[in-house]
Amino acid sequence: MDSNLTIYERYFEFSPDAIIVTDQDGQIRQVNPQCENLFGYSSTELLGNKIEILIPPRFRPQHPGHRADFHTAPRIRPMGAGLELYGLRKNGSEFPVDILLSPVEIEEGRLVLTVVRDISDRKRAEEALHQTEERFRLLVDGARDHAIFMLDQDGNVLTWNPGAQRLKGYRAEEIIGRHFSIFYPQEDIERGKPAHELRVAVSEGQYEEEGWRIRNDGSRFWANVIITALRKPGIGLIGFSKVTRDLTNRRRAEESLLVELSNTLLSSLDMRKMLTVIAASIQNLIPHDYATIALYDKAADMLRVQELKAGQPAEIMLSLETSPAGWTFKNREPLFMKRLDTTQFSKESLAHQIRAGVKSGCWLPLNSHGEVIGTLFIGSRRESAFDPHSAEMLLQMASQIAVAIDSVQASQQILELSNKLKEEKRYLEEEIRTEYSFDEIVGKSPVLKRVLKQVEVVAPTDATALIQGETGTGKELIARAIHNLSQRKEHTFVKLNCSAIPHGLLESELFGHEKGAFTGAIAQRIGRLELANRGTLFLDEVGDLPLELQPKLLRALQEREIERLGGRRTIIVDIRLIAATNRDLAAMVKEGLFRSDLYYRLRVFPVLIPPLRERREDIPLLVNYFVDKHAHRMNRRIEAVPSEVMNALVKWHWPGNVRELENFIERAVILTSGPTLRAPLAELTMPEETVAPSADSALETAERDHILRIVREAGGVIGGPGGAAEKLGVKRTTLNAKLKKLGIHRDSYT
């Protein structure tokens, strides 16, 4: 017993709450130390006083009656009974309290044990919570541009704010208790979209989307919707919050942009015009001072930036590693800068923005069908110019712009492919009309067999071949044979005779040109190098290639890339080159008429075709072949070639080689009226020893003709600007010495 009293006494003394013992008259009989601390009185001041000394004056008149009721029906009244009670300190200040009352029976009579707890902190917390709730209510009610309301677990509306009433057209009494699917179009309801959104919100915590919604009057609006699942600890799901924003104006602006872009697509495939339309459309929605489009160049592995200025558009190449545009492209994420950061990214990569006076901006990935094709940059001369709303709108627009640009690029590729197919068709139609085909390599002489063996060796290697031989020996047929035996035989064999095209047009013929590249360039043209991609390019008479074009051809062969005249885009070309000439390129290199580096690049595998006079055993085979060919074409029947005719043909030196022989046989077929060939042998009367040229003399003759033609084109002017020496790429003194050596006198070209 004594032990229990000791515990109670210690609790009485050290209790964190004030403890007061009063008799039935309300006189204080005992207090603990916490009571002194709480009310500011000493125990001496309290003992013997009425309890009303600790009660605010406004409650004192009612207190005796409450005390009498308690003694009439004594009971324990716990704390937290919901009463607004206050204590009064000695200094006159009031504070909120919670009170426990308990009757205590002793021998002298009944006492009342009163435990008083200061709840000032709790009251302050409750008041703060109340103020927070009030602020939230005011915030929700004041959000007139947002519909903010609550749903129960089944999706029925529980609350309704003024913004929801304005946006959706329902008053609170009309909508509370109804299911939120009433806001969805019928097609969404039929496919279970409202229930699906709630399921996603439950499983993932939140659901967000944009789509059409229905107002009370039946009209539609484009909305951004966020549904959040609400959970309470120990209970689980208690409902959902739903926030809806009207984005109809933004949607219409995006649709307007798409209409403009679509109209541009229909009217023009010009990328710069497309960029102009994009810039104007963005300006209508997001005011800005500077905009660029950076498109990925796969060949260069860089971003090709195109900026729009008041004058001519400029083009910049940016690295993927050191530029903000490259960061955006690689990470597929937008990048926003309140002020341009030259510490994270190189100053060079921001030079065009700095030059334009840009202070802040954003880079957005251009994502088309899951592939990032480039970036969009929007800049301002003000810092922190783009708020989250602008950013969200730009992100939406970037995807639309990406699709439009992707469509233009695809259309350009289709157009280029169409042009290439047209060029191939035109070229192949010309090829159909050509005189020779691969099947016309006729002969069984050892020298011809040696050449054909070389063809078999070099064809599969993809190496560059240089075919040398006199005019008319069949250099093109050998080139075709190399192509047809190679791995490129399924692709195009493209030929270009360098001596048959004026020098001023040869570069365009080789590399192609863009529309407007020069006077008369009224349309885009695919060059022979591009046309021969994955196939073979045969350059005939390569010795007539102008000196100024030779380094460009060499670069194309070494780098496997070209640019069209007037173009900026690098085009990858994969070609196998076969060159042919009847000139002595080695001598031209020594005289400065042909570049040595190109010569050695062409002469990887030289093939020398013998003249017809060195393979006379092939002449009878060729004669019979050409007789059958032209007789069939002319609907003639020729069955025999007289022996005297054949002997004469075999003995003739044929300075024009196989081509001359075929032309002679064609004339003979025309003159023949019966089954036996009648040949004009009178044409073969010049002594062979006086007219049979050597290979060197044939090359010298070709060189003489070429120089004489250039001098005549220059109007007989040797030196100075536009003179023959400049056109040939040699010194005036060198050309004069060459003219003297070749026996070209002034009266022959003036």
Residue 716 belongs to a domain: yes
CB neighbour list of residue 6: distance below 8 Å, 6 or more residues apart: none
- State how far Cα 116 lies from the chain centre: 74
Q: The dihedral of CA 284, 287, 291, 294: what is its sign?
A: negative
Mean pLDDT of 739-749: 72
Single out the residue of 200, 218, 191, 190 nearest to residue 155, CA to CA: 200
Mean pLDDT of 270-285: 66
Tell me: pLDDT of 692 over 60: no
- 34/44 Cα distance (integer angstroms): 14
pLDDT band at 264; cut points 50, 70, 90? low
pLDDT of residue 438: 43
CATH number of the domain to which 634 belongs? 1.10.8.60
CATH number of the domain to which 114 belongs? 3.30.450.20
- Give me the percent of the chain exceeding a pLDDT of 90: 26
Domain hosting 705: range is 696-748
CB neighbour list of residue 387: distance below 8 Å, 6 or more residues apart: none
Single out the residue of 379, 429, 382, 442 nearest to residue 612, CA to CA: 442
Tell me: pLDDT of 622 over 80: yes
Q: Which one of 190, 214, 246 terminates a domain?
A: 246
Max mean pLDDT range (91-95, 375-379, 393-397) = 91-95
Q: Compute φ and ψ for 100, nearest 5 degrees.
A: -105, 130
DSSP 216: T
Residue 420 belongs to a domain: no
453-478, pLDDT tens digit by residue? 899 899 999 999 999 999 889 899 99
Q: Are residues 587 and 648 in the same domain?
A: no
Residue 356 belongs to a domain: yes
Q: Are residues 217 and 88 in the same domain?
A: no
Q: Are residues 620 and 561 in the same domain?
A: no
Q: Which range is least confidently modeled, 333-342, 395-404, 617-626?
A: 395-404
pLDDT of residue 605: 93
Tell me: pLDDT of 668 over 80: yes
Which H, E and C letters describe 366-403, residue by residue? EEECCEEEEEEEEEECCCCCCCHHHHHHHHHHHHHHHH
Q: Are residues 215 and 283 in the same domain?
A: no
pLDDT of residue 134: 58
Tell me: pLDDT of 4 over 90: no
37-71, pLDDT tens digit by residue? 999 999 899 999 999 999 999 989 888 888 888 88
pLDDT band at 181; cut points 50, 70, 90? very high
Residue 202 belongs to a domain: yes
Amino acid at 429: E
Q: Are residues 69 and 183 in the same domain?
A: no
Residue 435 belongs to a domain: no
pLDDT of residue 1: 44
Residue 438 belongs to a domain: no
pLDDT of residue 284: 65
pLDDT of residue 135: 60
Mean pLDDT of 170-193: 91
Q: Are residues 598 and 618 in the same domain?
A: no
Residue 592 belongs to a domain: yes
Q: Would you call 426 helix, strand, or coil by DSSP?
A: helix
Q: Which one of 118, 152, 169 terminates a domain?
A: 118
Q: Are residues 460 and 582 in the same domain?
A: yes
Q: Are residues 325 and 298 in the same domain?
A: yes
Provide DSSP, 271-299. Answer: HHHHHHHHHHHHHHHS--SEEEEEEEETT
pLDDT band at 192; cut points 50, 70, 90? very high
Tell me: pLDDT of 143 over 50: no
Q: Are residues 212 and 282 in the same domain?
A: no
- Give me the percent of the chain exceeding a pLDDT of 70: 80
pLDDT of residue 460: 92
The number of domains in the chain is 6
pLDDT band at 87; cut points 50, 70, 90? very high
Q: Is 329 left (phi over 0), alpha (psi -120 to 50) or beta?
A: alpha
Q: Which range is least confidently modeled, 131-135, 139-143, 292-296?
A: 139-143
Compute the mean pLDDT over every residue in the chain, rounded to the nearest whole number.
81
- 508/517 Cα distance (integer angstroms): 10
pLDDT band at 176; cut points 50, 70, 90? very high
CA distances, 145 to each of 69, 136, 245, 639 (Å): 57, 16, 7, 100
CATH number of the domain to which 260 belongs? 3.30.450.40
CATH number of the domain to which 602 belongs? 3.40.50.300
- 565/661 Cα distance (integer angstroms): 42
Q: Are residues 260 and 395 in the same domain?
A: yes
Q: Which one of 231, 246, 261 terminates a domain?
A: 246
Residue 70 parent element (H or E): helix 63-72
DSSP-assigned beta bridge partners for residue 109:
106
Residue 482 belongs to a domain: yes
Q: In what order do the strands lie in the sheet with 18-22?
A: 28-31, 18-22, 109-118, 94-106, 85-88
pLDDT of residue 422: 61
pLDDT band at 412; cut points 50, 70, 90? low
Q: Are residues 679 and 710 in the same domain?
A: no
DSSP-assigned beta bridge partners for residue 264:
none
Q: Are residues 641 and 501 in the same domain?
A: no
Tell me: pLDDT of 99 over 80: yes
Tell me: pLDDT of 434 over 50: no
